[in-house]
A and B are shown apart, each in its own frame.
Chain A
């Protein structure tokens, strides 16, 4: 197991409590976290990333408690694409991507080969033409890709992505999901918060379904994402469609017909 949470809980002053959650995220897997707004996905993310600490229980990375890693050590293993990222200063695209190298650099200098890594990643994400652009001038979706490039430059073993497809158009959503799939083939562990049930169904190899801070289902999403579970968690009757060959299933929102 790459990342494991055992009986972790987290309590907010407001009274919201997450957990206890236990979960083993298989290494090299495409893992998904699902659940409605406020169900604790982002909190669980924080615990897995190590920037908040559980009240009880512990998170381990390759068997070693996450809190025993130094911040830089941890950042070489776990990277994050955040959900909403405010842009306070007008860096260039290249500068932001280069910051992904930070945990691998000495405090003052650049690291060896940093330039090549950054160059390759800009190329891979179709950002080479953008590299000199200032980030204030980018659209939400463009900046999302820059953040993705940054996390790839970080070269972590575990990629945490908080609703990474949110601002992307269809072409880039497809590109993102196949890129993440590629990363899992290279042995990286992906843990993504996804809102789109159909994407989770299609790409997720393992996942957790959360409701009000509790895990209500876990395992292979195509096993547990049945209409009953979705009704129970999201409180909406979804319509089920099947592909002609019967191999795939899709959910659609109910409601008005035009």
Chain B
């Protein structure tokens, strides 16, 4: 296992370096991978590489922001998943557990339904999109609400509060969808996750929002190990499970909220990536966090590549891809585990 870890990390870095140009090459207009590489490198070494202006436009304006956004979102969801699973001591926990997704979805739905009425042509949210801003606000408000109502003393309270509030929000969303059939497509598409509207502004916004909480999580790999032993043992080893565990959850929630607001709800990544990688690296969170960030990025870049190439010229929501591929794979893992494999 000691030797396997650097090998795994190296393989993941390599895979990421391969999948970025590959994903950039594929699409409605295909650009040969070699040209992708020279085009990407041309601004850095203007004398050595030259770039075709059309390819350059497609790559820098459309595909690369999309790839980076997918990568950031994938890393964020996977990191959030690791944190949730560690703090809740449950390898089946996922970052949407506390109702963040439904809070964000409610925000986005409100923006989609009411946006055109209230903020016609508003500029202030132009780069990120009104649904994104509303989704982020919705996620934060949901977090605050659940914490105040149910979770100040117990993590179980957080969980149940999240689930209960999720149902309420889902009902509200369904009602709005029924009453606004003309917005149905946009709402459904948002709720299933998509990087269609990726811009560098979104990449920057998501990157900026995720950076600090991600650094916080990376610093607390060892703390997560201690927390994963349970609250009494964490206390006895010098970690206050409610304060420190709470801060770790907060960081994971902020990351998840940022991802949801730029990408919609993409299932399975936060659950699956940490779970699969834990089978290889073992549960030590110091190791699990970095490879999960890499694995999440690779998975979502790959899934988004499929989302926009499988049914050209139509696009499939990326959440559909992750669920269709992830669900059966996850069932396979569970079956293998219950037959006595390593957990």
Residues in B208-261 with C-beta less than 8 Å from chain A: 219-220, 222-223, 225-226, 228-233, 235-240
Q: Which residues of B contact A74 (CB under 8 A)?
A: 238
Q: Which residues of A contact B283 (CB under 8 A)?
A: 89-91
Give the residues in chain B near A99, CB-CB below 8 Å: 225-226, 229, 237
Q: Any chain A CB within 8 A of the CB of B122?
A: no
Q: Is the CB of B222 within 8 A of A85?
A: no
On chain A, the residues within 8 Å of B284 by CB distance are 91, 95
Flag if B342 contacts A75 (CB, 8 Å).
no
Judged by DSSP, the binding face of B is loop
- A contact set with B: CB distance below 8 Å: 46, 49-51, 70-76, 78-80, 82, 85-86, 88-92, 95, 99-100, 102-103, 105, 107-108, 134, 136, 154, 160
* Neighbour of B342 across the interface among A46, A73, A134, A160, CB < 8 A: A134
- In the complex, which residue of chain A has the Cβ closest to the Cβ of B239? A71
Given the interface pairs A102-B238, A103-B237, the reply to whether A85 lies near B223 with Cβ below 8 Å is no
Contact of A85 among B91, B229, B238, B342 (CB under 8 A): B229
Q: How far is the CA of A102 from the CA of B225 in the complex (A)?
A: 10
Closest partner residue, chain A, to B231 (CB atom):
A51
* 16 A-B pairs in the complex with CB atoms less than 8 angstroms apart: A49-B235, A71-B238, A72-B238, A78-B236, A82-B230, A86-B230, A88-B89, A88-B228, A90-B283, A92-B282, A99-B226, A99-B229, A100-B237, A102-B226, A102-B239, A154-B237
**A46 to B232 CA separation, bound complex (whole angstroms):** 9
* B343 contacts the other chain (CB 8 A): yes
Are the C-beta atoms of B90 and A88 separated by less than 8 Å? yes
Complex: how many Å from CA A107 to CA B222?
A: 7
| Contact yes or no, A136 B233, CB < 8 A | no
- Contact mask for chain B residues 283-309; partner A; CB cutoff 8 A; 1 contact, 0 none: 110000000000000000000000000
Residues of A within 8 A of B239 (CB): 71, 102
Whether A75 and B91, one on each chain, are in contact in the complex, defined by CB atoms closer than 8 angstroms, is: no
A-B contact count (CB 8 A): 85
A104–B55 Cα distance when bound, in Å, is: 56
Residues of chain B touching chain A, judged by Cβ–Cβ distance below 8 Å, are: 86, 89-91, 219-220, 222-223, 225-226, 228-233, 235-240, 278, 282-284, 342-343
Q: Are B233 and A85 in contact (CB under 8 A)?
A: yes
Interfacial chain A residues near B222, Cβ < 8 Å: 102, 105, 107-108
Q: Which of B225, B232, B233, B235 contacts A71 (CB 8 A)?
A: B235
Closest chain A residue to B286 by CB distance?
A108
Q: Give complex CA distance A95, B284 in Å.
A: 8
* Complex contacts, A88 vs chain B, CB 8 Å: 89-91, 228-230
Which one of B222, B233, B238 has the highest number of Cβ atoms from chain A below 10 Å of its Cβ?
A: B238
**What chain A residues lie within 8 Å of B223 (beta carbons)?**
107
* Chain B residue nearest in CB terms to A104: B238
Which residue of A is nearest B343, CB measured? Answer: A90
The closest CB in chain A to the CB of B244 belongs to A71
- A85-B240 in contact given A51-B235, A134-B342 (Cβ < 8 Å): no
Q: Give the distance to chain A from B157, nearest Cβ to Cβ, in Å.
A: 14
- Contacting pair A107 B89 (CB below 8 A): no
Interface pair A51/B228, CB less than 8 Å apart? no
**How far apart are the CA atoms of A46 and B236 in the complex, in Å?**
10
How far apart are the CA atoms of A202 and B33 in the complex, in Å?
Answer: 78
Question: For the complex, what is the distance from the CA of A151 to the CA of B258, rounded to whole Å?
Answer: 40
Pairwise interchain contact B282-A91, C-beta atoms closer than 8 A: yes
- Distance of A88 from chain B, by nearest CB (Å): 4
Bound form: Cα–Cα A105–B233 in Å: 17
A5 to B155, CA, bound (A): 29
Residues of the B chain whose Cβ atoms lie less than 8 Å from the Cβ of A50: 235
- Min CB distance A49 to B, Å, is 6
Give the CA-CA distance A112 to B197 in the complex, in Å.
Answer: 51
Name the residue of chain B whose CB is nearest to the CB of A106: B222
Closest B-chain residue to A107, C-beta based?
B219
Question: 6 tightest CB-CB pairs across the interface, nearest first?
Answer: A75-B238, A80-B236, A51-B235, A89-B283, A103-B238, A72-B238
Evaluate contact between B343 and A71: CB separation under 8 angstroms: no
Find the B residue at minimum CB distance from A83: B232
In whole angstroms, how far apart are the Cα atoms of A49 and B231 in the complex? 13
Q: Which of B220, B225, B233 contacts A95 (CB 8 A)?
A: B225
In the complex where A71-B238, A71-B240, A95-B225 touch, is A107 in contact with B220 (Cβ < 8 A)? Answer: yes
A178 to chain B minimum Cβ distance, whole angstroms, is 24
Contacts of A92 in B (CB 8 A): 282
A67 CB, nearest partner CB in chain B, Å = 12
Give CA–CA (A162, B233) in the complex, Å: 12
Check if A79 sits within 8 Å of B236, measured CB to CB.
yes
Query: Do B91 and A89 touch across chains, with their CB atoms under 8 A apart?
Result: yes
Chain A residues, Cβ within 8 Å of B237: 75, 99-100, 102-103, 154
Residue numbers in B under 8 Å from A49 (CB-CB): 235-236
Cα(A160)–Cα(B232), bound, Å: 12
* Smallest Cβ-Cβ distance to B228: which chain A residue: A89
Indicate whether A51 sits within 8 Å of B232 (C-beta atoms), given known contacts A99-B225, A102-B222: yes
**Residues on B with beta carbons closer than 8 Å to the beta carbon of A91:** 225, 282-284
